[in-house]
Amino acid sequence: MTGRTEYAPAASETPPKILIVDDRPENLMATSALLRPLGAAILTAESGSDALMLVLKHSFAIVLLDVQMPVMDGFETARLMKTRPDMENVPIIFVTAISKEDHFATRAAEIGAVDYIFKPINPDILKSKVKVYLDLYRQREQILKLNATLRQSNEELERFAYVCSHDMQEPVRMMNTYAGFLEQDAAAVLDDNSQRYVTYIRDNAVRMQKMIRDILTFSRVGREEVRTEKVDCNQVLAETLREFEDVIALKHAAIYAGPLPMLQTSPTLVRILFQNLIGNALKFQKGAVPPEISISAQASGSMWRFEVKDNGIGIDPAFSDRVFTIFQRLHRAEEYPGTGIGLSTCKKFLRLVGGDITFTSHPGEGTTFVFTLPAR
Amino acid sequence: MYTDLEILLVEDNEGDVEMTRRALRTAKPQCRLTVANNGDQAIKLLQDVSVQPPHLILLDINMPRMDGKAFLSAIKQDETFRAIPVVMFTSSESPNDIRECYERYASGYVVKPFDGVQYANTVREVVHFWGEVSQLPS
Protein backbone atom coordinates (compact mmCIF):
# COMPACT_ATOMS: atom_id res chain seq x y z
CA MET A 1 0.00 0.00 0.00
CA THR A 2 2.98 2.31 -0.38
CA GLY A 3 3.10 5.02 -2.98
CA ARG A 4 -0.65 5.64 -2.80
CA THR A 5 -1.68 9.28 -2.77
CA GLU A 6 -2.78 10.14 0.70
CA TYR A 7 -5.85 12.21 1.17
CA ALA A 8 -4.86 15.43 2.88
CA PRO A 9 -7.79 16.85 4.79
CA ALA A 10 -8.18 20.61 4.66
CA ALA A 11 -8.00 22.35 8.01
CA SER A 12 -11.65 23.34 7.93
CA GLU A 13 -12.95 19.80 7.29
CA THR A 14 -14.41 17.80 10.12
CA PRO A 15 -12.53 14.54 10.69
CA PRO A 16 -14.32 11.23 10.01
CA LYS A 17 -15.94 9.61 13.02
CA ILE A 18 -15.37 6.14 14.46
CA LEU A 19 -17.86 4.52 16.80
CA ILE A 20 -16.57 1.96 19.31
CA VAL A 21 -19.13 -0.12 21.17
CA ASP A 22 -18.14 -2.29 24.11
CA ASP A 23 -19.82 -2.97 27.45
CA ARG A 24 -16.50 -2.72 29.29
CA PRO A 25 -15.18 0.84 29.85
CA GLU A 26 -11.58 -0.37 30.09
CA ASN A 27 -11.81 -1.89 26.58
CA LEU A 28 -13.24 1.35 25.24
CA MET A 29 -10.39 3.33 26.75
CA ALA A 30 -7.75 1.01 25.38
CA THR A 31 -9.15 0.87 21.85
CA SER A 32 -9.67 4.65 21.76
CA ALA A 33 -6.10 5.27 22.79
CA LEU A 34 -4.89 2.86 20.14
CA LEU A 35 -6.85 4.50 17.30
CA ARG A 36 -6.42 8.15 18.30
CA PRO A 37 -3.24 8.64 16.17
CA LEU A 38 -5.29 7.89 12.99
CA GLY A 39 -6.81 11.36 13.17
CA ALA A 40 -10.46 10.38 13.35
CA ALA A 41 -12.94 11.59 15.97
CA ILE A 42 -13.72 8.72 18.33
CA LEU A 43 -17.11 8.24 19.96
CA THR A 44 -17.86 5.43 22.36
CA ALA A 45 -20.94 3.61 23.64
CA GLU A 46 -21.29 1.07 26.46
CA SER A 47 -24.41 -0.64 25.15
CA GLY A 48 -26.28 -1.40 21.95
CA SER A 49 -29.00 1.11 22.73
CA ASP A 50 -26.47 3.89 23.46
CA ALA A 51 -24.80 3.07 20.13
CA LEU A 52 -28.11 3.34 18.30
CA MET A 53 -28.73 6.76 19.87
CA LEU A 54 -25.35 7.95 18.56
CA VAL A 55 -26.06 6.59 15.08
CA LEU A 56 -29.18 8.76 14.97
CA LYS A 57 -27.15 11.89 15.65
CA HIS A 58 -23.87 11.30 13.81
CA SER A 59 -22.73 9.79 10.58
CA PHE A 60 -19.85 7.37 11.02
CA ALA A 61 -17.03 6.16 8.85
CA ILE A 62 -16.57 2.89 10.76
CA VAL A 63 -18.27 1.04 13.61
CA LEU A 64 -16.31 -1.32 15.89
CA LEU A 65 -18.83 -3.53 17.61
CA ASP A 66 -18.33 -5.92 20.50
CA VAL A 67 -20.43 -9.06 19.96
CA GLN A 68 -20.93 -10.20 23.55
CA MET A 69 -22.88 -7.51 25.33
CA PRO A 70 -25.74 -7.81 27.84
CA VAL A 71 -29.33 -6.91 26.84
CA MET A 72 -28.71 -6.17 23.14
CA ASP A 73 -25.86 -8.11 21.64
CA GLY A 74 -23.64 -6.98 18.76
CA PHE A 75 -25.62 -8.81 16.10
CA GLU A 76 -28.92 -7.23 17.10
CA THR A 77 -27.30 -3.80 17.37
CA ALA A 78 -25.78 -4.15 13.89
CA ARG A 79 -29.07 -5.37 12.41
CA LEU A 80 -30.89 -2.32 13.76
CA MET A 81 -28.13 0.03 12.59
CA LYS A 82 -28.37 -1.37 9.08
CA THR A 83 -32.06 -0.47 8.87
CA ARG A 84 -30.99 3.17 8.57
CA PRO A 85 -30.31 4.14 4.95
CA ASP A 86 -27.27 6.28 5.84
CA MET A 87 -25.68 3.28 7.61
CA GLU A 88 -25.96 1.05 4.57
CA ASN A 89 -22.42 1.74 3.34
CA VAL A 90 -20.78 2.02 6.73
CA PRO A 91 -18.40 -0.88 7.48
CA ILE A 92 -19.10 -2.67 10.76
CA ILE A 93 -16.19 -4.57 12.28
CA PHE A 94 -17.20 -7.21 14.84
CA VAL A 95 -14.91 -7.61 17.80
CA THR A 96 -15.45 -11.03 19.31
CA ALA A 97 -14.07 -13.60 21.65
CA ILE A 98 -16.11 -16.45 20.31
CA SER A 99 -14.14 -18.51 18.04
CA LYS A 100 -14.35 -19.20 14.34
CA GLU A 101 -17.64 -21.03 14.42
CA ASP A 102 -19.46 -21.24 11.11
CA HIS A 103 -22.82 -19.95 12.29
CA PHE A 104 -21.09 -16.82 13.54
CA ALA A 105 -19.56 -16.00 10.15
CA THR A 106 -22.86 -16.66 8.36
CA ARG A 107 -24.82 -14.52 10.74
CA ALA A 108 -22.31 -11.68 10.59
CA ALA A 109 -22.28 -11.75 6.80
CA GLU A 110 -26.09 -11.69 6.65
CA ILE A 111 -26.17 -8.56 8.73
CA GLY A 112 -23.61 -6.90 6.55
CA ALA A 113 -20.48 -6.92 8.67
CA VAL A 114 -17.38 -6.48 6.56
CA ASP A 115 -14.73 -7.74 8.92
CA TYR A 116 -13.93 -9.37 12.30
CA ILE A 117 -11.29 -8.83 14.91
CA PHE A 118 -10.72 -11.65 17.37
CA LYS A 119 -9.99 -11.15 21.00
CA PRO A 120 -7.43 -10.83 22.45
CA ILE A 121 -6.89 -7.84 20.15
CA ASN A 122 -3.63 -7.53 18.33
CA PRO A 123 -3.09 -3.73 18.31
CA ASP A 124 -1.23 -3.65 15.00
CA ILE A 125 -3.89 -5.65 13.16
CA LEU A 126 -6.71 -3.53 14.56
CA LYS A 127 -4.94 -0.30 13.74
CA SER A 128 -4.10 -1.23 10.17
CA LYS A 129 -7.58 -2.61 9.50
CA VAL A 130 -9.21 0.57 10.74
CA LYS A 131 -6.75 2.65 8.74
CA VAL A 132 -7.71 0.85 5.51
CA TYR A 133 -11.40 1.52 6.12
CA LEU A 134 -10.71 5.13 7.04
CA ASP A 135 -8.78 5.64 3.81
CA LEU A 136 -11.61 4.05 1.84
CA TYR A 137 -14.07 6.31 3.58
CA ARG A 138 -12.02 9.44 2.84
CA GLN A 139 -11.58 8.50 -0.80
CA ARG A 140 -15.28 7.79 -1.13
CA GLU A 141 -16.14 11.14 0.44
CA GLN A 142 -13.75 12.89 -1.89
CA ILE A 143 -15.23 11.20 -4.96
CA LEU A 144 -18.75 12.05 -3.86
CA LYS A 145 -17.73 15.67 -3.39
CA LEU A 146 -16.02 15.76 -6.79
CA ASN A 147 -19.06 14.20 -8.43
CA ALA A 148 -21.33 16.80 -6.90
CA THR A 149 -19.04 19.60 -8.11
CA LEU A 150 -18.91 18.10 -11.59
CA ARG A 151 -22.64 17.64 -11.76
CA GLN A 152 -23.17 21.22 -10.69
CA SER A 153 -20.75 22.70 -13.20
CA ASN A 154 -22.26 20.53 -15.91
CA GLU A 155 -25.71 21.79 -15.08
CA GLU A 156 -24.47 25.36 -15.05
CA LEU A 157 -22.86 24.89 -18.43
CA GLU A 158 -26.03 23.44 -19.92
CA ARG A 159 -28.09 26.25 -18.49
CA PHE A 160 -25.58 28.75 -19.83
CA ALA A 161 -25.74 27.23 -23.32
CA TYR A 162 -29.52 27.26 -23.23
CA VAL A 163 -29.94 30.81 -21.97
CA CYS A 164 -27.22 32.11 -24.26
CA SER A 165 -28.58 30.57 -27.40
CA HIS A 166 -32.14 31.47 -26.47
CA ASP A 167 -31.31 35.12 -25.91
CA MET A 168 -29.01 35.37 -28.91
CA GLN A 169 -31.85 34.56 -31.31
CA GLU A 170 -33.35 38.05 -31.08
CA PRO A 171 -30.26 40.13 -31.87
CA VAL A 172 -29.14 37.91 -34.73
CA ARG A 173 -32.61 38.05 -36.28
CA MET A 174 -32.51 41.86 -36.03
CA MET A 175 -29.14 41.96 -37.79
CA ASN A 176 -30.40 39.80 -40.60
CA THR A 177 -33.66 41.68 -41.04
CA TYR A 178 -32.20 45.16 -40.95
CA ALA A 179 -29.32 44.23 -43.22
CA GLY A 180 -32.08 42.94 -45.53
CA PHE A 181 -33.91 46.27 -45.29
CA LEU A 182 -30.69 48.04 -46.21
CA GLU A 183 -30.34 45.81 -49.27
CA GLN A 184 -33.92 46.61 -50.28
CA ASP A 185 -34.17 50.28 -49.41
CA ALA A 186 -30.67 51.56 -49.95
CA ALA A 187 -29.58 49.58 -53.00
CA ALA A 188 -29.52 52.78 -55.07
CA VAL A 189 -27.30 54.74 -52.70
CA LEU A 190 -24.87 51.99 -51.66
CA ASP A 191 -21.77 51.47 -53.78
CA ASP A 192 -20.66 47.96 -54.77
CA ASN A 193 -18.36 47.51 -51.80
CA SER A 194 -21.02 48.57 -49.32
CA GLN A 195 -23.54 46.23 -50.91
CA ARG A 196 -21.04 43.40 -50.56
CA TYR A 197 -20.52 44.26 -46.89
CA VAL A 198 -24.25 44.12 -46.29
CA THR A 199 -24.27 40.68 -47.91
CA TYR A 200 -21.50 39.55 -45.55
CA ILE A 201 -23.57 40.69 -42.61
CA ARG A 202 -26.59 38.74 -43.83
CA ASP A 203 -24.67 35.58 -44.73
CA ASN A 204 -23.01 35.49 -41.35
CA ALA A 205 -26.22 36.26 -39.50
CA VAL A 206 -27.79 33.28 -41.27
CA ARG A 207 -24.85 31.08 -40.27
CA MET A 208 -25.03 32.25 -36.69
CA GLN A 209 -28.77 31.61 -36.61
CA LYS A 210 -28.15 28.00 -37.71
CA MET A 211 -25.60 27.54 -34.94
CA ILE A 212 -27.89 29.01 -32.32
CA ARG A 213 -30.76 26.76 -33.39
CA ASP A 214 -28.51 23.69 -33.28
CA ILE A 215 -27.11 24.59 -29.84
CA LEU A 216 -30.64 25.12 -28.58
CA THR A 217 -31.75 21.73 -29.89
CA PHE A 218 -28.69 20.12 -28.31
CA SER A 219 -29.21 21.73 -24.91
CA ARG A 220 -32.95 20.93 -24.91
CA VAL A 221 -32.10 17.23 -25.03
CA GLY A 222 -32.09 16.18 -21.40
CA ARG A 223 -33.53 19.49 -20.19
CA GLU A 224 -36.99 18.83 -21.43
CA GLU A 225 -39.02 15.72 -20.72
CA VAL A 226 -38.92 13.11 -23.49
CA ARG A 227 -42.46 12.61 -24.78
CA THR A 228 -43.04 9.30 -26.48
CA GLU A 229 -45.87 8.18 -28.74
CA LYS A 230 -46.54 5.60 -31.42
CA VAL A 231 -44.24 6.70 -34.22
CA ASP A 232 -44.43 5.38 -37.76
CA CYS A 233 -40.79 5.69 -38.80
CA ASN A 234 -41.78 5.34 -42.48
CA GLN A 235 -43.88 8.46 -42.16
CA VAL A 236 -41.15 10.47 -40.41
CA LEU A 237 -38.72 9.38 -43.12
CA ALA A 238 -41.15 10.45 -45.86
CA GLU A 239 -41.55 13.86 -44.22
CA THR A 240 -37.79 14.27 -43.90
CA LEU A 241 -37.26 13.35 -47.55
CA ARG A 242 -39.87 15.94 -48.52
CA GLU A 243 -37.87 18.61 -46.66
CA PHE A 244 -34.82 17.61 -48.69
CA GLU A 245 -36.62 17.25 -52.04
CA ASP A 246 -34.88 20.27 -53.60
CA VAL A 247 -31.40 18.98 -52.71
CA ILE A 248 -32.32 15.45 -53.78
CA ALA A 249 -33.47 16.73 -57.17
CA LEU A 250 -30.46 19.04 -57.57
CA LYS A 251 -27.94 16.29 -56.84
CA HIS A 252 -29.89 13.54 -58.65
CA ALA A 253 -29.72 11.52 -55.46
CA ALA A 254 -31.19 8.02 -55.31
CA ILE A 255 -32.91 7.05 -52.06
CA TYR A 256 -33.74 3.47 -51.17
CA ALA A 257 -35.91 2.96 -48.12
CA GLY A 258 -36.71 -0.44 -46.66
CA PRO A 259 -39.80 -0.98 -44.50
CA LEU A 260 -39.32 0.69 -41.13
CA PRO A 261 -41.03 -0.21 -37.86
CA MET A 262 -43.72 1.42 -35.79
CA LEU A 263 -42.15 2.31 -32.42
CA GLN A 264 -43.20 3.74 -29.08
CA THR A 265 -40.59 6.49 -29.01
CA SER A 266 -39.95 10.22 -29.29
CA PRO A 267 -41.02 11.52 -32.72
CA THR A 268 -38.61 14.44 -32.25
CA LEU A 269 -35.71 12.01 -31.86
CA VAL A 270 -36.58 10.04 -35.00
CA ARG A 271 -36.90 13.29 -36.95
CA ILE A 272 -33.55 14.62 -35.66
CA LEU A 273 -31.87 11.32 -36.61
CA PHE A 274 -33.19 11.23 -40.16
CA GLN A 275 -32.60 14.95 -40.70
CA ASN A 276 -28.99 14.72 -39.62
CA LEU A 277 -28.03 11.39 -41.17
CA ILE A 278 -29.74 11.94 -44.51
CA GLY A 279 -28.65 15.59 -44.52
CA ASN A 280 -25.04 14.48 -44.02
CA ALA A 281 -25.30 11.73 -46.64
CA LEU A 282 -26.51 14.33 -49.15
CA LYS A 283 -23.95 16.91 -48.08
CA PHE A 284 -20.82 14.75 -48.12
CA GLN A 285 -21.21 13.76 -51.75
CA LYS A 286 -18.14 12.36 -53.50
CA GLY A 287 -17.31 14.83 -56.27
CA ALA A 288 -20.02 14.76 -58.91
CA VAL A 289 -21.13 11.18 -58.14
CA PRO A 290 -24.87 11.28 -57.44
CA PRO A 291 -25.56 10.32 -53.81
CA GLU A 292 -27.06 6.89 -53.21
CA ILE A 293 -28.59 6.54 -49.79
CA SER A 294 -30.29 3.48 -48.37
CA ILE A 295 -32.24 3.42 -45.13
CA SER A 296 -33.20 0.13 -43.52
CA ALA A 297 -34.07 -1.37 -40.14
CA GLN A 298 -34.19 -4.78 -38.57
CA ALA A 299 -35.24 -6.11 -35.18
CA SER A 300 -32.41 -7.34 -33.00
CA GLY A 301 -33.43 -8.60 -29.58
CA SER A 302 -35.05 -5.86 -27.55
CA MET A 303 -33.78 -3.19 -29.98
CA TRP A 304 -34.36 -2.04 -33.52
CA ARG A 305 -31.20 -1.52 -35.52
CA PHE A 306 -31.36 1.19 -38.21
CA GLU A 307 -28.84 1.70 -40.97
CA VAL A 308 -28.27 4.79 -43.09
CA LYS A 309 -25.74 3.95 -45.80
CA ASP A 310 -24.25 6.33 -48.35
CA ASN A 311 -21.67 6.33 -51.16
CA GLY A 312 -20.10 9.65 -50.12
CA ILE A 313 -16.57 10.77 -49.31
CA GLY A 314 -16.39 8.59 -46.18
CA ILE A 315 -14.76 9.45 -42.88
CA ASP A 316 -11.02 9.17 -42.30
CA PRO A 317 -10.50 6.65 -39.46
CA ALA A 318 -8.16 9.19 -37.84
CA PHE A 319 -11.18 11.35 -37.07
CA SER A 320 -13.51 8.56 -35.98
CA ASP A 321 -13.46 9.47 -32.28
CA ARG A 322 -14.31 13.10 -33.05
CA VAL A 323 -17.40 12.50 -35.16
CA PHE A 324 -19.84 12.61 -32.24
CA THR A 325 -18.05 15.38 -30.31
CA ILE A 326 -19.89 18.68 -30.18
CA PHE A 327 -18.48 21.51 -32.35
CA GLN A 328 -16.09 19.10 -34.06
CA ARG A 329 -16.11 19.88 -37.75
CA LEU A 330 -13.89 17.80 -39.97
CA HIS A 331 -14.08 20.17 -42.93
CA ARG A 332 -13.92 23.89 -43.56
CA ALA A 333 -17.28 25.67 -43.63
CA GLU A 334 -16.64 26.70 -47.25
CA GLU A 335 -16.25 23.06 -48.34
CA TYR A 336 -19.11 21.52 -46.40
CA PRO A 337 -21.25 23.91 -44.36
CA GLY A 338 -22.39 22.79 -40.94
CA THR A 339 -22.25 23.61 -37.27
CA GLY A 340 -20.69 20.42 -35.87
CA ILE A 341 -23.56 19.89 -33.49
CA GLY A 342 -25.96 17.56 -35.34
CA LEU A 343 -24.37 14.18 -34.66
CA SER A 344 -23.61 14.99 -31.03
CA THR A 345 -27.30 15.86 -30.57
CA CYS A 346 -28.19 12.49 -32.14
CA LYS A 347 -25.88 10.65 -29.76
CA LYS A 348 -26.97 12.56 -26.67
CA PHE A 349 -30.66 11.99 -27.43
CA LEU A 350 -30.20 8.29 -28.29
CA ARG A 351 -28.28 7.63 -25.07
CA LEU A 352 -31.08 9.31 -23.14
CA VAL A 353 -33.65 6.79 -24.40
CA GLY A 354 -31.34 3.76 -24.11
CA GLY A 355 -30.15 3.62 -27.73
CA ASP A 356 -26.80 4.40 -29.32
CA ILE A 357 -25.15 5.34 -32.59
CA THR A 358 -21.96 4.16 -34.33
CA PHE A 359 -20.62 4.15 -37.85
CA THR A 360 -18.34 2.25 -40.20
CA SER A 361 -16.66 3.97 -43.09
CA HIS A 362 -14.26 3.45 -45.97
CA PRO A 363 -12.79 6.74 -47.14
CA GLY A 364 -13.73 7.26 -50.77
CA GLU A 365 -16.42 4.58 -50.71
CA GLY A 366 -19.01 5.72 -48.22
CA THR A 367 -20.22 5.64 -44.67
CA THR A 368 -22.83 3.58 -42.84
CA PHE A 369 -24.34 5.00 -39.70
CA VAL A 370 -26.02 2.49 -37.41
CA PHE A 371 -28.32 3.53 -34.61
CA THR A 372 -30.39 1.49 -32.19
CA LEU A 373 -33.73 2.29 -30.59
CA PRO A 374 -35.52 0.28 -27.89
CA ALA A 375 -38.25 -1.84 -29.52
CA ARG A 376 -40.83 -1.72 -26.70
CA MET B 1 -64.05 46.45 -44.27
CA TYR B 2 -63.15 47.97 -40.96
CA THR B 3 -62.18 51.55 -41.24
CA ASP B 4 -60.10 51.29 -38.16
CA LEU B 5 -58.61 48.16 -36.73
CA GLU B 6 -57.10 48.64 -33.29
CA ILE B 7 -54.06 46.47 -32.64
CA LEU B 8 -52.15 46.37 -29.39
CA LEU B 9 -48.56 45.24 -29.82
CA VAL B 10 -46.90 44.21 -26.54
CA GLU B 11 -43.20 44.13 -27.38
CA ASP B 12 -40.06 45.46 -25.74
CA ASN B 13 -37.71 45.33 -28.72
CA GLU B 14 -37.65 48.57 -30.73
CA GLY B 15 -36.47 46.65 -33.79
CA ASP B 16 -39.53 44.42 -33.72
CA VAL B 17 -41.87 47.36 -33.22
CA GLU B 18 -40.37 49.06 -36.26
CA MET B 19 -40.66 45.87 -38.33
CA THR B 20 -44.30 45.45 -37.41
CA ARG B 21 -45.10 49.10 -38.23
CA ARG B 22 -43.30 48.74 -41.52
CA ALA B 23 -45.25 45.59 -42.36
CA LEU B 24 -48.60 47.29 -41.75
CA ARG B 25 -47.91 50.84 -42.94
CA THR B 26 -48.77 50.46 -46.59
CA ALA B 27 -50.46 47.05 -46.69
CA LYS B 28 -52.94 47.69 -43.88
CA PRO B 29 -53.34 51.45 -43.58
CA GLN B 30 -56.64 50.95 -41.73
CA CYS B 31 -54.72 49.55 -38.73
CA ARG B 32 -53.94 51.65 -35.70
CA LEU B 33 -51.00 50.18 -33.86
CA THR B 34 -50.57 50.93 -30.18
CA VAL B 35 -47.40 49.72 -28.50
CA ALA B 36 -46.76 48.69 -24.90
CA ASN B 37 -43.25 47.69 -23.87
CA ASN B 38 -44.30 45.10 -21.28
CA GLY B 39 -47.31 43.49 -19.63
CA ASP B 40 -47.70 46.19 -16.98
CA GLN B 41 -47.90 48.94 -19.57
CA ALA B 42 -50.35 46.92 -21.65
CA ILE B 43 -52.66 46.42 -18.68
CA LYS B 44 -52.60 50.16 -17.90
CA LEU B 45 -53.50 50.88 -21.53
CA LEU B 46 -56.40 48.40 -21.45
CA GLN B 47 -57.74 49.88 -18.22
CA ASP B 48 -57.79 53.39 -19.67
CA VAL B 49 -61.51 53.80 -20.52
CA SER B 50 -60.82 56.74 -22.82
CA VAL B 51 -58.98 54.40 -25.18
CA GLN B 52 -60.89 52.03 -27.46
CA PRO B 53 -60.10 48.37 -26.63
CA PRO B 54 -58.09 46.57 -29.31
CA HIS B 55 -59.48 44.04 -31.79
CA LEU B 56 -56.29 42.04 -31.58
CA ILE B 57 -53.29 41.74 -29.28
CA LEU B 58 -49.87 40.70 -30.59
CA LEU B 59 -47.84 39.50 -27.64
CA ASP B 60 -44.13 38.85 -27.17
CA ILE B 61 -43.08 36.40 -24.41
CA ASN B 62 -39.70 37.56 -23.13
CA MET B 63 -40.16 41.03 -21.71
CA PRO B 64 -38.95 42.77 -18.58
CA ARG B 65 -41.35 43.27 -15.66
CA MET B 66 -44.59 41.44 -16.53
CA ASP B 67 -43.75 38.96 -19.30
CA GLY B 68 -46.04 37.67 -22.04
CA LYS B 69 -47.32 34.59 -20.22
CA ALA B 70 -48.23 36.52 -17.07
CA PHE B 71 -50.02 39.16 -19.13
CA LEU B 72 -51.88 36.47 -21.09
CA SER B 73 -53.07 34.79 -17.87
CA ALA B 74 -54.17 38.15 -16.49
CA ILE B 75 -56.33 39.24 -19.40
CA LYS B 76 -57.83 35.78 -20.02
CA GLN B 77 -59.14 35.92 -16.43
CA ASP B 78 -60.69 39.34 -17.00
CA GLU B 79 -64.39 39.40 -17.99
CA THR B 80 -63.96 42.55 -20.07
CA PHE B 81 -60.96 41.52 -22.16
CA ARG B 82 -61.00 37.73 -22.34
CA ALA B 83 -62.70 37.70 -25.77
CA ILE B 84 -59.92 39.69 -27.44
CA PRO B 85 -57.83 37.31 -29.53
CA VAL B 86 -54.21 37.20 -28.37
CA VAL B 87 -51.63 35.90 -30.81
CA MET B 88 -48.19 35.13 -29.40
CA PHE B 89 -45.40 36.56 -31.53
CA THR B 90 -42.05 35.39 -30.26
CA SER B 91 -38.59 34.05 -31.07
CA SER B 92 -39.04 31.05 -28.82
CA GLU B 93 -39.67 27.67 -30.41
CA SER B 94 -39.56 25.93 -27.05
CA PRO B 95 -42.23 23.20 -26.79
CA ASN B 96 -42.80 24.28 -23.18
CA ASP B 97 -43.50 27.88 -24.18
CA ILE B 98 -45.88 26.76 -26.92
CA ARG B 99 -47.80 24.47 -24.57
CA GLU B 100 -47.95 26.99 -21.75
CA CYS B 101 -49.30 29.73 -24.00
CA TYR B 102 -52.06 27.54 -25.43
CA GLU B 103 -52.92 26.40 -21.90
CA ARG B 104 -53.40 30.08 -21.07
CA TYR B 105 -55.81 30.41 -24.03
CA ALA B 106 -53.63 32.09 -26.61
CA SER B 107 -55.47 32.19 -29.96
CA GLY B 108 -52.30 31.45 -31.87
CA TYR B 109 -48.57 31.00 -31.50
CA VAL B 110 -46.39 32.43 -34.24
CA VAL B 111 -42.60 32.21 -34.31
CA LYS B 112 -41.05 35.42 -35.65
CA PRO B 113 -39.55 34.56 -39.05
CA PHE B 114 -35.83 35.10 -39.42
CA ASP B 115 -36.20 36.80 -42.78
CA GLY B 116 -37.57 40.35 -42.93
CA VAL B 117 -39.83 39.75 -45.94
CA GLN B 118 -41.37 36.67 -44.35
CA TYR B 119 -41.73 38.58 -41.11
CA ALA B 120 -43.77 41.26 -42.84
CA ASN B 121 -45.94 38.69 -44.62
CA THR B 122 -46.57 36.87 -41.36
CA VAL B 123 -47.59 40.04 -39.54
CA ARG B 124 -50.03 40.91 -42.34
CA GLU B 125 -51.53 37.43 -42.39
CA VAL B 126 -51.99 37.29 -38.63
CA VAL B 127 -53.62 40.72 -38.66
CA HIS B 128 -55.80 39.78 -41.62
CA PHE B 129 -57.03 36.52 -40.07
CA TRP B 130 -57.46 37.49 -36.43
CA GLY B 131 -58.27 41.15 -36.98
CA GLU B 132 -60.58 40.94 -39.97
CA VAL B 133 -61.74 37.41 -40.87
CA SER B 134 -62.51 36.04 -37.45
CA GLN B 135 -63.78 39.05 -35.53
CA LEU B 136 -66.80 38.49 -33.34
CA PRO B 137 -69.81 40.55 -34.41
CA SER B 138 -70.01 43.57 -32.14
DSSP per-residue codes, A272-327: HHHHHHHHHHHHS--TTSPPEEEEEEEEETTEEEEEEEE-SS---GGGGGGTTSTT
pLDDT of residue A296: 93
How far apart CA B96 and CA A225 sit, in angstroms, is: 10
* Boundaries of domain holding B57: 5-133
pLDDT of residue A245: 93
Looking only at the bridges linking them, the beta strands covering A356-362 and A366-374 are antiparallel
Per-residue pLDDT tens listing for chain A (376 residues) = 344 444 444 444 688 999 999 999 998 999 999 999 998 999 999 999 999 999 999 989 999 998 888 888 888 888 888 888 888 888 898 888 765 566 666 777 777 667 888 878 888 988 999 999 999 999 988 999 999 999 888 888 877 877 777 788 888 999 999 999 998 888 889 898 999 999 999 999 998 888 888 888 888 887 778 888 999 999 999 999 999 999 999 999 999 998 999 999 999 899 999 999 999 999 998 888 999 999 999 999 999 999 999 999 988 888 877 888 877 777 776 777 787 888 999 999 999 899 999 999 988 889 999 999 998 7
Taking CA–CA distances from A166, the nearest residue in chain B reads: B92
The CA distance from A41 to the nearest CA of chain B, in Å, is: 51
Residues 68-107 on B with a CB inside 8 Å of A are 91-96
pLDDT of residue B138: 57
Q: Does B26 reach chain A within 8 Å, measured CB to CB?
A: no
pLDDT at B46 over 70: yes
Using an 8 Å CB-CB cutoff, list chain B residues near A224: 94-96
Three-state secondary-structure class, residue A251: coil
Cβ separation of B95 and A206 shorter than 8 Å?
no
Q: Which CATH superfamily is domain A229-374 in?
A: Histidine kinase-like ATPase, C-terminal domain (3.30.565.10)
Taking CA–CA distances from B90, the nearest residue in chain A reads: A170
Cβ separation of B19 and A177 shorter than 8 Å?
yes
A282-286, A323-327, B5-9, B121-125: range with lowest mean pLDDT: A323-327
- Rounded to 5°, the CA angle B40-B43-B46 comes to 155
- Domain A17-121 belongs in CATH node 3.40.50.2300: yes
Q: Which of A170, A180, A206 sits opposite B13 (nearest CB)?
A: A170
pLDDT of residue A102: 60
The CA distance from A185 to the nearest CA of chain B, in Å, is: 12
Kindly state whether residue B138 falls inside one of the protein's structural domains: no
Q: If you ran DSSP here, which 8-state letter would residue B89 be given?
A: E
Cβ separation of A173 and B114 shorter than 8 Å?
yes
Kindly state whether residue B54 falls inside one of the protein's structural domains: yes
**pLDDT tens by residue, B86-118:** 999 998 888 889 999 999 999 999 999 998 999
pLDDT of residue A298: 93
pLDDT of residue A2: 41
Prediction pTM value: 0.62
Number of folded domains that form chain B: 1
Give, in order, the Cα–Cα distances in Å from B123 to each of B20, B57, B88, B114, B119.
7, 12, 11, 13, 6
Cβ separation of A177 and B92 shorter than 8 Å?
no
Using an 8 Å CB-CB cutoff, list chain A residues near B19: 177
Q: What is the CATH number of the domain that holds B34?
A: 3.40.50.2300
